[in-house]
Amino acid sequence: MRDLATDGLDLLPSDVAYADIRVVYRRHEGLHVQDGRVSPVVDSESAGIGLRVLIGGQWGFAATSRTERAALAVLVDGAVGQARAAAGAGGGRRGLGDPVTTRACWSSPVVTDPFSVPLGDKVDLLLQASALMSGGASGGCRLTAEASMDFFRDRKVFANTEGAVIEQAITESGAGLLATATGGGDVQRRSYPQSVPRAIRGQRGDFATGGYEHVLGLDLLGNAGRVGEEASALLTAPQCPSETTTLIVSGTQMAQLVHETAGHAMEADRVLGTEASLSGATYATPQRRGSFRFGSDLVTVFADATLSGGLGTFGFDDEGVPGQRVDLVRGGVFRGYLSGRESAAAIGEAPTGASRADGWARVPLVRMTNVCLAPGESSLAEMVAGTERGVLIDMNRTLSIDDVRMSFRFGAEVGWEIRDGKVGRMLRNCSYSGVTPRFWAGCDAIGGPDEFRLYGIPSCNKGEPLQVAHIGHGTVPARFRNVRVGTR
């Protein structure tokens, strides 16, 4: 792989101002069980080369699933031809900042290689979990019990014309449960340990860079019965009342909230207007940096690609920039960006190592790493005890946010009413809406370090063609005052 990368760069013509090449191999194993029946096993291999060139201020990019040496010349022709074709289109000017010359290797730590664990053992665990979920059905409802595991291994080589050559191997493991209850003209669901907002089959649950030890640590069997019971119970639970009230957001729900309102908003390419027609723009403009009040003084949000086990953890991004930590919000004030080399140069700062591509066939874009809500000093129990009337919600079910990341509405799988400092009845169809800075301004309590938990989500979409990123979110529960909640 390394030779293929460096050989590709050797073929570049002299008018190429900059180029990088990535050779990527990915293996994916997907296991899914539904109602005690094993779904078709998925065993996937993908390998290819992506070459990006900069000529006369214009990018060209070509990628192919051919990995033999003969493909390199075709690849170079394709990328170079593109860049030259755009040479007369104007607007060409790209700064990339300081050169990246790193030569390094990096691997994510793995205790137990998930691909070496016998398939029968993995499937047995899922079948047991599925059976336990099914056993939680009640009230004559129809319950669909799904359990899944997915494992990924990426081996990739990055090289550029500035002298960098970086090899990385990243192993990711994850698993999850989903119980869907149908009855009485309604459909309800519960997930564990994390949800995805769409009906993605498999690739659900919580993921980490790591091995099979992560799956075992999730304690699927210890939670499966509860998941089935709660899904069934939701069908007859009272509707969430529509009111403006106090909202306590669980850690799982917080992951999506941080993702949408802070993570995407602070991607530097949005600032430059280059994503305005597709992903959108942002409220977090450079003019507002350092002064825009994102939330209350308690709120600090950071991105950290070095957290152990995070799904957004890596040694180097896909431009060769080291993974690092950057504050996005500190003390409630918007402070920083996730950026790649080009976007960082455009706003006059060093890149924060957040440029990543979905496999070999996509150009690197600014993507989240592990975007985290910093722990505070409270706890979930303390927040509930200090709430006279409110709603506690858990696990994202759906989300929608506008193209500048201001107006949002999130739906949760489950809620519980809070009365006089105690958790009361289960509520169904809970959703809440807000406008980002007003919502976060109402944050008056954040869980402490003991409640900090890192979640991994392998389904963040961006770009054209679509790119799916694997990212992490470290969260704690938090409380918000004066939030509009309800069924609609």
Tell which positions 448-487 bind other proteins, by CB under 8 A: 459, 464-466, 468
DSSP label at residue 321: P
Q: What is the Cα–Cα distance from 203 to 300, expressed in whole angstroms?
A: 30
Tell the smallest beta-carbon distance from residue 398 to other proteins (Å). 5
Is 411 a binding residue for other proteins by CB under 8 A? The answer is yes
Q: Using CB under 8 A, which of 123, 169, 221, 426 touches other proteins? A: 123
Q: What is the Cα–Cα distance from 411 to 486, expressed in whole angstroms?
A: 9
Helix boundaries (H) for 173-298: 212-217, 220-234, 251-258, 268-271
Is 4 a binding residue for other proteins by CB under 8 A? The answer is no
Using CB under 8 A as the binding rule, the residues of this chain from 16 to 35 that contact other proteins are 28, 30
CA 293 → CA 167, 168, 284, 378, 440, distances in Å?
Answer: 40, 38, 10, 22, 9
Q: What is the Cα–Cα distance from 386 to 337, expressed in whole angstroms?
A: 35
Q: What is the Cα–Cα distance from 434 to 255, expressed in whole angstroms?
A: 16
Candidate ranges 42-50, 218-226, 417-425, 440-448; the one touching other proteins (CB under 8 A): 42-50
Is 1 a binding residue for other proteins by CB under 8 A? The answer is no
User: Can you tell me whether residue 221 is helix, strand or coil?
Assistant: helix
∠ CA(32), CA(37), CA(41), 5° rounding? 40
Using CB under 8 A as the binding rule, the residues of this chain from 219 to 258 that contact other proteins are none
Is 361 a binding residue for other proteins by CB under 8 A? The answer is yes
Nearer to other proteins, 153 or 397 (CB): 397
Nearer to other proteins, 360 or 416 (CB): 360
∠ CA(114), CA(171), CA(125), 5° rounding? 30
Is 348 a binding residue for other proteins by CB under 8 A? The answer is no
Using CB under 8 A as the binding rule, the residues of this chain from 51 to 70 that contact other proteins are 58-66, 70
Tell the smallest beta-carbon distance from residue 253 to other proteins (Å). 14
Is 134 a binding residue for other proteins by CB under 8 A? The answer is no
Q: Using CB under 8 A, which of 89, 347, 381, 385 touches other proteins? A: 89
Using CB under 8 A as the binding rule, the residues of this chain from 173 to 192 that contact other proteins are 180, 182-183, 185-187
Nearer to other proteins, 325 or 484 (CB): 484
- The candidate with the shortest Cα–Cα distance to 454, out of 305, 353, 326, 297, is 305
Is 431 a binding residue for other proteins by CB under 8 A? The answer is yes
Is 200 a binding residue for other proteins by CB under 8 A? The answer is yes
Q: What is the Cα–Cα distance from 384 to 422, expressed in whole angstroms?
A: 6
Is 203 a binding residue for other proteins by CB under 8 A? The answer is yes
Is 11 a binding residue for other proteins by CB under 8 A? The answer is no
- Compute how many other C-beta atoms are within 10 angstroms of the C-beta atom of residue 194: 24
Candidate ranges 72-80, 224-232, 325-333, 367-375; the one touching other proteins (CB under 8 A): 72-80
Give every CB contact of residue 60 below 8 A, 6+ residues apart in sequence. Answer: 52, 53, 54, 78, 79, 80, 81, 82, 83, 84, 85, 86
Site pattern 381..410 for other proteins (x: CB under 8 A)? ----------------xxxxxxxx-xx-x-
Tell the smallest beta-carbon distance from residue 109 to other proteins (Å). 25
Structure tokens at 450: 């003991």
Candidate ranges 45-53, 303-311, 312-320, 387-395; the one touching other proteins (CB under 8 A): 45-53
- The candidate with the shortest Cα–Cα distance to 215, out of 192, 198, 237, 236, is 192
Is 40 a binding residue for other proteins by CB under 8 A? The answer is yes
End-to-end distance of the chain based on CA atoms, in angstroms?
53
Candidate ranges 208-216, 377-385, 433-441, 471-479; the one touching other proteins (CB under 8 A): 433-441
Candidate ranges 151-159, 305-313, 384-392, 429-437; the one touching other proteins (CB under 8 A): 429-437
Site size toward other proteins (CB under 8 A) is: 93
